[in-house]
Structure 1
Amino acid sequence: MNRTIKLCVLGGSALATPMLFESMGRQNARGSYQVCLHGRDSQRLAMVKKISEKITCQFPDLDLSITATLDMREAIEGAAFILNQIRVGGLKARLFDETFPRKYGIPGEETVGPGGFSNALRGIPVVLDHCKTIEKYAPQAVMLNLMNPSSLIQYAVTRYTSVNVVGTCDTPVSTCRMVSNALGLPKDKSRVSWFGMHHFGWLFDLAVDGQSRLDAVFGQLERMANLGVDPEIVTALRAIPAPYLKYYFHPDRMLAMTEGRKPRAEQLIEVFAQLENAMDHWSEGQPLDFMQQRGAGWYDKIVVPTLLALAEKRESDLILSVGNEDSVAWLPKSAVIEAPVAISEGKIGRPRIPASIPEDIQGMIMRNCAYEMLAVEAIVEHDRSKALRALQSNLLVKDFNQVRGIMGEIWPEEARPAFKLIAAEKPAAEASSGAGKPGFAVPTLHYGEKAIERMPLREKKYAVITMEIPWVNIRQRFPRDPEVVVYVDELDWYALEAIERSLPEIDLVVGVGGGMATDGAKFVGWKRRIPVDVVPTITSVDASVTKSIAARSGGHVTYIGYVVPRDVYVDYPVIRGAPKRLNRSGVGDILCSHVALFDWKLSHDHTGEEYDPSAVDQMKTWLEKIETQAADIEAMNDNGIRLIMNAFEDISIICRKFGSSRPQEASDHTFAYNAEFQTGKKFLHGELVALGAYVLATLQNNDPEYLRDIYSRTGILWQPRDIGLTRAEFANVLGTLNWYQKNFGRRYSILDEVHIDSAFIEMVQAKLDF
């Protein structure tokens, strides 16, 4: 293999580009490569080139040289392979794609739905222009497309140019590995049956040594972190959808999970700013650990394997996007399909199509295919009618009103509605939130001996979401009767939706009880866009003052929606009348920040995650208050009640100012969620996270005895014996905790740094009571 292989990287100034060369080194690229990075920013291009060369030096056997240029012809001329990874408009454009569809009740995403259409509208003309240069100066080159929305880009290239293009996406690899891991199978050793389109694919079977393992999959669905859809869907269809199918099966949930939260693009803007700063200030001799800050698994999983299979004539079996031709009779020949292909002698073989594809899945794929082809043709041909038809064909778009609204947002020269929006001018005193006040809605807390009797109940019709015992105890104290009372005992998605659908027309919803009743009320208020008031009957959880709803899906907790209770009525007699154990448990959700702050700093140091010292100081102030007023909490007198509720309120504000619950929860909550998942039991949340905080503080070597002392003085129960966790269950929870973090963990923590072994489990067990 003596000839030099030229690889052109379009979008070569992308900050993740150096990881391409790391992947080539780790996968033992044996060819002689000349790589030319093309970009539009000379300084950034030079920076990426410098880091890339340093990474290349870590692999002495890697025969690879790197150049960089702003000149398109220079980059492309003579290339055998072209990696297309450009992002037209950058992350700010992606932010638009992820947010504008929400106006129309559609989740935003850069590859599916209206967001994907908007992305294609920007990207396709640019790619086709680049293809003219490829046709002229590298007509034999193979384009590996990584640019999104991938299959729309690929269809545009194949329909309107002569460029040879193949689509690469890591989603099929990730999905197949997820299933293999759940079954305990070796990585990439299964023969898979896969078919669909980009971000619209399905795993129909996987076999080991010729034996199908599909039936075994159905018993492991809840262990698959990125399944995305309800297990019931999988068992009904007998096929595993790619994670992006969750947008089509659960659009309401996907919308709920993004409301009131930073879009992915906004998070990446922050990450890339930190990464670019680290790259820019890097100098010879310093480590390159910061390059792991932004994962780039697509190079390792699919781009480099495809490149090496084609360039070095390696025998491979990969899932790629290729032309249909006559592989599937029920799709147009020009369609772009995603399927396994064998690569031999540098040539891509015929797609391997599953023997049987259910008709309903065929129907979904056909409709998605119609959308993609119409969308591309509309964009290239500037055909408004085809654009309307494309959007109406999209599975996320329900009606033509949405189509017209979307067109008004993104279609060039689309006639805009004839109205003018004029914002009312606010008095100077109201222009800002004022000193010390947050710039967002917060609940008003009302304390007193007769707080319930003083409830104004301003709305005419209201419903109460509660549980039987709390309601029986206080119903006579309400100023007037509600239209309806609902007892809630489950918080999974279907239960919440059933509750909301069962209610008559109301103007207000009141949650009476603990976290379950409050989250149920918040769900109804969020869905109906009506006010939510709360009467907490215990101080065990902070749901009455937070903006999110804790719902369960697939056995795991998911935080959804954006709804802030309007008024919270803290009635002292009601809370004093509850078992002190329940009330004291709330302190666990405050003290767990001792562990969360450690994890946060660890993540900042190791991944560059944003860190806010002022938020840390505010959280530590609350830890000190709990420590000094522990006796009030133990007694659960009025001061103790007020302390816990004020802490909940203020910590919620701290977290919302920062943008997430990072200052309050981390590996301690991961422990709690895994305990619930592994045992199938229900626990008092505050007690469970208190145990988790002690265990994880021990793992962190972060003064766990400090927590034990405060637990003792506040009276919170937290020992496994007290909360109902057996020795065997505890050992299993700890033994699977690293696995749970890897698959379901929400944030980087000590669990990403330290592996829990049997010695640690035995050591911690010796300190606990069972």
Structure 2
Amino acid sequence: MKLVILGGGGFRVPLVYGALTGSPLIDEVTLYDSSTDRLRTIERIIRQLPAGPRVTISTDLARSLTGADFVFAAIRVGGAAGRIADERVALGLGLLGQETIGPGGLAYALRTIPVMNHVAETIARVAPDAWTINFTNPAGIVTQAMRRVLGDRVVGICDTPIGLVKRVSRLLGVDLQTEEARVDYDYIGLNHLGWLRSVRIDGVERLGGILADDSALDQIEEARLIGKDWVRATGALPNEYLYYYLHTEEAVASILHGGQTRGEFLHATQGRFYEAACCTDSPLETWRSALRNREETYMAEARDEDRREEDVAGGGYQEVALRLMTAIATGSRERMILDVGNAHARGRVSDALPDDVVVEVPCIVDGDGPHPQQVAPLALDQLGRIATLRASEAAIMDAALTGSQNRAWEGFSIHPLVNSPALGAKLLTGYTAAHPEIASLFA
């Protein structure tokens, strides 16, 4: 089977390839990217990994996709420099500057959706039977845009929910990812905005015991980030990105105090990596050192401690992608949290949300693809957060597909971390000036 990795010159591509080396599922991997230099660097690293599928590189999108069985999409439109502008325009207005949360995420979506729409149309034309696994951020709204073309054959993935589930699994001594009927859990939300609300083993609710135990909560990164008392009071374990919604002022102050945004940090460190990797006999070791530095500093603005070893290893989107591909290709059943359409063959995930909304929920995956599982109704505060955020993102998606400045203004203005038409207008002006892709969209 053939796997195509879009964004094949990306820094984390060797993680995906490394996951494939122990699986007979994929025998051919094509790396597609717009940068030949980065493709060659990543190809050299892969050559130093244990032998796995045959690898080819290409800068031709349609040729790369032809004959694909699976497509893994991890494209960064505008590169690290674009991310820096996303962050700095928002911070300049006293707003959160982050890659996927807040106005920075909306700007990222505004320039990414037209590109991913073209990608989806190309997949539909040259590889209509392929399954597309989207990790291009902001993953939820990009997946929703691609579903307009590819329908259920595009699935969004994220490693943060699986990291949370793994941490709870370690505490309970039971693998919650198993498909066994004796294990069940309830997780609902959007990408980077979700809650683990129930964990049942043999029909017995176990989440309450974890929430009541300080020593247990100390083992859960999300509880340490957001506050043990808060997760106990609300009766749910939130996705770690809820930190940015619940501690917005602290996050903005921490980023400004640090003097360097996450985008600026990655632009510098990964720039040095690509420069060094092209000139060394051991690019694999250079990559491993840079990867370790990247993982240890993840969400550093939210922490007052070093990131723990078990948390660094807690997720892994390459693992999610491999499990998803294996279940679809072989018909084996897997339980995992995925980004899928609210409406599906068995009904709706939530009657409170429109059919086309992409939600992040537990699914059972088999040869027919993901089957979203029934979850409890949304609490009013959860519904409010989801509805407001998705309305903002829907306006941005419309703007990206139609070139409507008014819809873009609306999207920026009604975002829950902006909530101001005046600030929305300033954001639109700032991002239009900072990004040629956005200026071209509105031209």
Paired position in structure 2 for 1:339: 361
Paired position in structure 2 for 1:327: 349
How many angstroms apart in 2 are the aligned matches of 1:337 and 1:283? 45
Report % sequence identity: 27
Paired position in structure 2 for 1:206: 199
Alignment of 1:314 onto 2:332: yes
Maintained 8 Å contact 1:151/1:336: yes
The aligned runs of 1:432-447 (5 Å cut-off) are: none
SS at match of 2:222: coil
Maintained 8 Å contact 1:371/1:390: yes
Alignment of 1:259 onto 2:256: yes
Paired position in structure 2 for 1:134: 123
Maintained 8 Å contact 2:45/2:284: no
Alignment of 1:174 onto 2:172: no
How many angstroms apart in 2 are the aligned matches of 1:251 and 1:400? 19
In structure 2, do the counterparts of structure 1 residues 24 and 191 end up closer, same or farther at CA, with 3 Å as the change threshold? farther
How many angstroms apart in 2 are the aligned matches of 1:85 and 1:104? 29
Paired position in structure 2 for 1:395: 416
SS at match of 1:55: coil
How many angstroms apart in 2 are the aligned matches of 1:290 and 1:91? 17
Counterpart selection for 1:215 from 193, 197, 208:
208
Counterpart selection for 1:52 from 43, 46, 51:
46
SS at match of 1:288: helix
Paired position in structure 2 for 1:112: 101
Paired position in structure 2 for 1:363: 384
Maintained 8 Å contact 1:45/1:68: yes
State the one-letter code of the partner of 2:375.
Answer: P
Alignment of 1:148 onto 2:137: yes
Maintained 8 Å contact 2:73/2:132: yes
Paired position in structure 2 for 1:437: none
Counterpart selection for 1:405 from 423, 426, 430:
426
How many angstroms apart in 2 are the aligned matches of 1:311 and 1:281? 39
**TM superposition score normalised by structure 1:** 0.50
Maintained 8 Å contact 1:323/1:333: yes
Paired position in structure 2 for 1:237: 234
Maintained 8 Å contact 1:375/1:387: yes
Paired position in structure 2 for 1:386: 407
How many angstroms apart in 1 are the aligned matches of 2:280 and 2:203? 50
**Offset, 1:192:** 2.2
SS at match of 2:100: coil
Alignment of 1:124 onto 2:113: yes
SS at match of 2:221: coil
Deviations 1:702-737, CA, capped at 9 Å, x for gaps: xxxxxxxxxxxxxxxxxxxxxxxxxxxxxxxxxxxx
Paired position in structure 2 for 1:84: 73
Alignment of 1:31 onto 2:25: yes
Counterpart selection for 1:276 from 274, 292, 308:
274
How many angstroms apart in 1 are the aligned matches of 2:92 and 2:272? 31
How many angstroms apart in 2 are the aligned matches of 1:154 and 1:324? 12
Paired position in structure 2 for 1:521: none
**Offset, 1:176:** 1.8
Counterpart selection for 1:354 from 375, 393, 396:
375
Maintained 8 Å contact 2:393/2:411: yes
Counterpart selection for 1:159 from 145, 148, 162:
148
Maintained 8 Å contact 2:195/2:238: yes
How many angstroms apart in 2 are the aligned matches of 1:287 and 1:102? 36
In structure 2, do the counterparts of structure 1 residues 140 and 355 end up closer, same or farther at CA, with 3 Å as the change threshold? same
How many angstroms apart in 2 are the aligned matches of 1:183 and 1:404? 49
How many angstroms apart in 1 are the aligned matches of 2:279 and 2:320? 31
**Offset, 1:38:** 0.6
In structure 2, do the counterparts of structure 1 residues 56 and 392 end up closer, same or farther at CA, with 3 Å as the change threshold? same
How many angstroms apart in 2 are the aligned matches of 1:49 and 1:104? 41
Paired position in structure 2 for 1:42: 36
* Bigger RCO of structures 1 and 2 (CA < 8 A, at least 6 apart): 2
In structure 2, do the counterparts of structure 1 residues 204 and 88 end up closer, same or farther at CA, with 3 Å as the change threshold? same
How many angstroms apart in 1 are the aligned matches of 2:147 and 2:120? 10
How many angstroms apart in 1 are the aligned matches of 2:11 and 2:439? 34
Maintained 8 Å contact 1:312/1:346: no
SS at match of 2:71: strand
SS at match of 2:338: strand
**Offset, 1:229:** 1.8
Maintained 8 Å contact 2:100/2:108: yes
How many angstroms apart in 2 are the aligned matches of 1:356 and 1:112? 24
Deviations 1:686-708, CA, capped at 9 Å, x for gaps: xxxxxxxxxxxxxxxxxxxxxxx
Counterpart selection for 1:21 from 14, 17, 20:
17
How many angstroms apart in 1 are the aligned matches of 2:156 and 2:145? 12
Deviations 1:608-630, CA, capped at 9 Å, x for gaps: xxxxxxxxxxxxxxxxxxxxxxx
**Offset, 1:53:** 2.8
How many angstroms apart in 1 are the aligned matches of 2:253 and 2:289? 30
**Offset, 1:291:** 2.3
SS at match of 1:395: coil
Query: Any unmatched runs of 5+ in structure 2?
Result: 296-314, 433-437
SS at match of 1:105: coil
**Offset, 1:150:** 0.6
State the one-letter code of the partner of 2:366.
Answer: S
SS at match of 1:147: coil
- CA radius of gyration, larger in: 1
SS at match of 2:137: coil
**Offset, 1:79:** 0.6
- Count of aligned pairs: 401
Paired position in structure 1 for 2:5: 9
Deviations 1:581-606, CA, capped at 9 Å, x for gaps: xxxxxxxxxxxxxxxxxxxxxxxxxx
Counterpart selection for 1:195 from 176, 188, 200:
188
**Offset, 1:252:** 0.6
**Offset, 1:160:** 5.0
**Offset, 1:106:** 1.4
SS at match of 2:198: strand
Paired position in structure 2 for 1:522: none
How many angstroms apart in 2 are the aligned matches of 1:91 and 1:85? 14
**Offset, 1:313:** 2.8
How many angstroms apart in 2 are the aligned matches of 1:276 and 1:83? 22
SS at match of 2:120: helix
SS at match of 1:260: helix
Paired position in structure 2 for 1:224: 220
How many angstroms apart in 2 are the aligned matches of 1:141 and 1:118? 29
Maintained 8 Å contact 1:128/1:161: no
Paired position in structure 1 for 2:310: none
Maintained 8 Å contact 1:7/1:81: yes
Deviations 1:331-370, CA, capped at 9 Å, x for gaps: 0000001001101225221x11322432221221122222
In structure 2, do the counterparts of structure 1 residues 301 and 226 end up closer, same or farther at CA, with 3 Å as the change threshold? farther
State the one-letter code of the partner of 1:7.
Answer: L
In structure 2, do the counterparts of structure 1 residues 254 and 344 end up closer, same or farther at CA, with 3 Å as the change threshold? same
Maintained 8 Å contact 1:6/1:79: yes
Maintained 8 Å contact 1:271/1:294: no
SS at match of 1:397: coil
How many angstroms apart in 2 are the aligned matches of 1:342 and 1:197? 18
Maintained 8 Å contact 1:195/1:353: no
Maintained 8 Å contact 2:117/2:146: yes
State the one-letter code of the partner of 2:381.
Answer: D
**Offset, 1:31:** 2.1
Maintained 8 Å contact 1:139/1:163: no
Maintained 8 Å contact 1:321/1:337: yes
State the one-letter code of the partner of 1:275.
Answer: F
In structure 2, do the counterparts of structure 1 residues 148 and 125 end up closer, same or farther at CA, with 3 Å as the change threshold? same
SS at match of 2:245: helix
The aligned runs of 1:287-686 (5 Å cut-off) are: 288=285, 290-294=287-291, 298-325=316-343, 326-349=348-371, 351-411=372-432, 412=438
